[in-house]
Amino acid sequence: MASSASPPASRRQESHLQPVPVNNQVVEAGEGEGMKVCGKGSVNTEKVVLSDVWYVPGLIANFVSVGQLTEDHNLIVQLGGGMCRVNKKSDGSVLGRAPLRPYRKYAVDFLKIELN
């Protein structure tokens, strides 16, 4: 998970459902390097359900923006104890979990959210 305000991004186009081409959009990927966004779509797999996902060829990993998740007032994002948790504010249900891995990165176990 990343703490930027960009939408979630994927390195694999096949994980998208009907991506729509995007022009003149760049996402920062570490050290302020810009990478071209080639499409936007939804991801719907057994472990991940997200909309408004950018397809960015050349990424070494997929990432999710914690900043964007916190913009949704019905979500609670908690970091601590070596875990990132995403819960639905209205009923407390668990929508996502990502344990902390080496290099201070969280690896998503599952995340099922329809982002606006």
- What is the number of structural domains in the chain? 1
- Rounded Cα distance, 56 and 76, in Å: 27
Note down the domain range covering 90: 20-113
Q: Kindly state whether residue 7 falls inside one of the protein's structural domains.
A: no
pLDDT digits (tens, 9 = 90+) for 15-47: 545 678 888 888 876 666 788 888 888 888 888
CB-based contact 97:54 (threshold 8 Å): no
Q: Kindly state whether residue 6 falls inside one of the protein's structural domains.
A: no
Report pLDDT for 3. Answer: 43
Residue 42: what are its φ and ψ, rounded to 5°? -120, 150
Q: pLDDT tier at 111 (50, 70, 90 boundaries)?
A: very high
Structure tokens at 76: 């609670």
Q: Kindly state whether residue 10 falls inside one of the protein's structural domains.
A: no
How much is the pTM?
Answer: 0.71
Q: Kindly state whether residue 54 falls inside one of the protein's structural domains.
A: yes
Report pLDDT for 115. Answer: 56
Q: Kindly state whether residue 72 falls inside one of the protein's structural domains.
A: yes
Q: Kindly state whether residue 39 falls inside one of the protein's structural domains.
A: yes
Structure tokens at 93: 């249900």
